[in-house]
Structure 1
Amino acid sequence: MSLLNVHVTPQLALVAVDTDGIGPAGHFEICKLYPVAHANTILAGQGERRFLLEAFSRICLADRSVDYDVIVEAMPGLLRVLAAGARQHGAPDHRYAIAVVGYSPAEGCVCGRWYEGVVTRDQFEVHSLGSRVGPWPFEDRAPVPDSVENHVALARRQTAWHKSKDYAGGGRLILAELTPDQLNIRSPCRLEWEWGYYKLGRGAQYSEAHLLAFLESGNCAPTQPVPAPGRRKPTRAASEISPLLKAQEVLRAAADREALPDTPQRRQPRVLR
């Protein structure tokens, strides 16, 4: 599961995704947002990423001029073609969600559509996009992602939930800002230290509260240098985030000492009698 947060107004759209994926070798970074630059449109996805990539590839390879209106008109037929191919190749029944956001020449403003379904089925749901946050498995209402700051806050909380459930979700936040005549894509922050002191990956047993405290600390600032892979000793700020993380570091240090070979420095002093 991935995060996909969208806010669309007639003059501005903000679309955010994460970069975390899971494969046989563990976590790695992947692309979940694709710009169709000549059409001033973006495609972003959740779930089965091959479906998103196939849709993007076919749109870019079209032998005609395309814009947002042409893309949304073609999407239903395109999704059915992709579903037929998935059935032919015996693909599993994974779910997908695709957001298409761009400037509509017909409407004279920025618009968005949301497509959601199962990769092997012809049926799917289509919704006009205003604000959409996903996933949001919390009881309180999600903030509206109408600013960069709100997107960052939402994504950090979603990442904490993803990691507490051992789902794919995290890495970096990728944010696209689209207006009638401009498309910008940037990464405002790192959502986790996937390659840092605490590898918040598969099998990590942290509660949502502890992960959220870690992600909201200064260690997630965009200017914070990413530690080299393999380093395990946290900074002082990271070790003071919660008693749980601090205790885990103490246990790691103790385990490292036990693994050292017997040396004169570690031998117990002899008692002379």
Structure 2
Amino acid sequence: MSILNAFVTPDLALIGVDTEARLPDGATYQVCKLVTVPHLGAAAGFRGLDVLQMFAASAIISFKGDFDALAETMPGLLTEAERFCRDQFGASGDALAFNVVLVGYSESAGCMVGHAFDRTADSEEIKIASGLPNFIAPDVEADQLRSLHIVADKPGMSILARHQCQLIRDHDPGMAAGGRFFIAEVRRNSIHVEQAFEFPPRPEKVG
């Protein structure tokens, strides 16, 4: 289910995503898993079914309201996106599990704020976490995280993402993780997105 990370401080939010996706036949391709909303100083990262992002992205970009109102709308929006995936594509079970992170400038809080919206395969409930200082998916065990000596900056996020990619490939070589890693720097009045690095290519199949 690829890589999605966020570090949030009062003045700056970093959100990072990989680009690799896989077709049912095992072919890999690259997709955008990041949506930016410059006039709100906001960005959303997605981890899960691509058509869920396709449905949700247009509503996020064209939202009429401030960042706080968008955050309040997200659970209902994602529920509708989930319904679309079921009705139009027959998605169910693991296919409907997702992580979505929304970061941006909150007028009410007067600072950058992060929200996470998570749905597991065995539950129809969308869990919401607000005011997050960080979000890491896939999760990394606490002792491994300490050993990486991560600092909440762009180099730290790159170190974390490389480690996550290796964890995913070791656990399930068929799972999407890799391609290129992009990091968005989100501030109240600016968003800067750039490629941080390319992940190692997958080993060639023998035979």
TM score, norm. by length of structure 1: 0.65
State the 1:58 CA deviation: 1.5
Please state which structure has a larger fraction of its residues in strand: 2
- Distance in structure 2 (CA, Å) of the matches to 1:28 and 1:69: 34
- Distance in structure 2 (CA, Å) of the matches to 1:119 and 1:85: 16
- Distance in structure 2 (CA, Å) of the matches to 1:47 and 1:16: 15
Amino acid at match of 1:110: M
Q: Is residue 179 of structure 2 the alignment partner of residue 171 of structure 1?
A: yes
Aligned positions, number: 197
| Gap regions ≥5 residues in structure 1 | 205-254, 256-273
Corresponding residue for residue 46 of structure 1: 47
Q: Is residue 164 of structure 2 the alignment partner of residue 158 of structure 1?
A: yes
Corresponding residue for residue 58 of structure 2: 57
Amino acid at match of 1:4: L
Corresponding residue for residue 29 of structure 2: 28
Amino acid at match of 1:96: F
Equivalent residues of 1:82, 1:119 under 8 A apart: no
The CA RMSD over aligned residues, in Å, is 2.4
TM score, norm. by length of structure 2: 0.84
- Distance in structure 2 (CA, Å) of the matches to 1:133 and 1:81: 25
Q: Secondary structure at the match of 2:176?
A: coil
Say which one has the larger Rg.
1
- Distance in structure 1 (CA, Å) of the matches to 2:19 and 2:67: 25
| Gap regions ≥5 residues in structure 2 | none
CA distances 1:203-239 after superposition (whole Å, capped 9, x unpaired): 68xxxxxxxxxxxxxxxxxxxxxxxxxxxxxxxxxxx
After TM superposition, the structure 1 = structure 2 runs for residues 1-273 of structure 1, keeping only pairs within 5 Å, are 1-23=1-23, 24=25, 26-62=27-63, 65-89=64-88, 90-93=90-93, 94=95, 95-118=97-120, 122-128=124-130, 129-138=132-141, 140-142=143-145, 143-144=149-150, 146-164=152-170, 165-166=172-173, 167-192=175-200, 194=201, 199-200=202-203
- In structure 2, relative to structure 1, the CA distance for the partners of 1:179 and 1:101 (3 Å cut) is same
State the 1:91 CA deviation: 1.6
